[in-house]
């Protein structure tokens, strides 16, 4: 790993998750390189560059139920791999989704991120 220890890489990703859960866009973006790229695994581009990542998350941060619960985290070289259960509002309604996130770290910033998305589970509120 260049310029980032495994512990500091994990700390960076935890700061990013905490900022996301707090909907703090400035703290969130402080974790990302200006040239960062954001993909749906393996190679579908979702956002390229900090401005596009910021715009994507400004919209997402408006969701009142947005919350990522960390299930597991491991570090291999300059990659941090998280598994999270994310609560958010889908077009069909509120629910959760299983997400695996692979973050590539360089110079103490996220330079690339790949996301593997499970199937959304929409909350059954009809019977409540």
CB 28 within 8 A of CB 57: yes
Where do the structural domains in the chain lie, given as residue ranges?
Answer: 6-120
| Distant-in-sequence contacts of 50-58, Cβ < 8 A, 24+ apart | 53/29, 54/25, 54/29, 57/20, 57/25, 57/28, 57/29, 58/25
Q: pLDDT tens digits, the chain, 128 residues: what are they? A: 355 676 799 999 999 999 999 999 999 999 999 999 999 999 999 999 999 999 999 999 999 999 999 999 999 999 999 999 999 999 999 999 999 999 999 999 999 999 999 999 999 765 44
**Right CATH for 6-120 from 3.40.190.10, 3.10.450.50, 3.30.460.10, 2.40.30.10:** 3.10.450.50
pLDDT for residue 3: 59
pLDDT for residue 59: 92
Q: Considering the entire predicted model, what is its pTM?
A: 0.91
């Amino acid at each position: 790993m260049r310029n980032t220890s495994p512990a500091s890489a994990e700390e960076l990703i935890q700061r990013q998750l905490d900022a996301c859960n707090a909907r703090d866009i400035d703290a969130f973006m402080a974790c990302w390189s200006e040239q960062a790229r954001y993909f749906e695994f393996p190679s579908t581009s979702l956002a390229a560059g900090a401005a596009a990542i910021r715009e994507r998350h400004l919209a997402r941060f408006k969701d009142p139920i947005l919350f990522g619960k960390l299930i597991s985290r491991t570090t291999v070289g300059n990659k941090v791999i998280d598994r999270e259960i994310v609560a958010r509002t889908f077009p069909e309604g509120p629910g959760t989704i299983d997400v695996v996130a692979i973050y590539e770290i360089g110079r103490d910033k996220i330079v690339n991120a790949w996301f593997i998305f499970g199937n959304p589970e929409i909350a059954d509120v009809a019977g409540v």
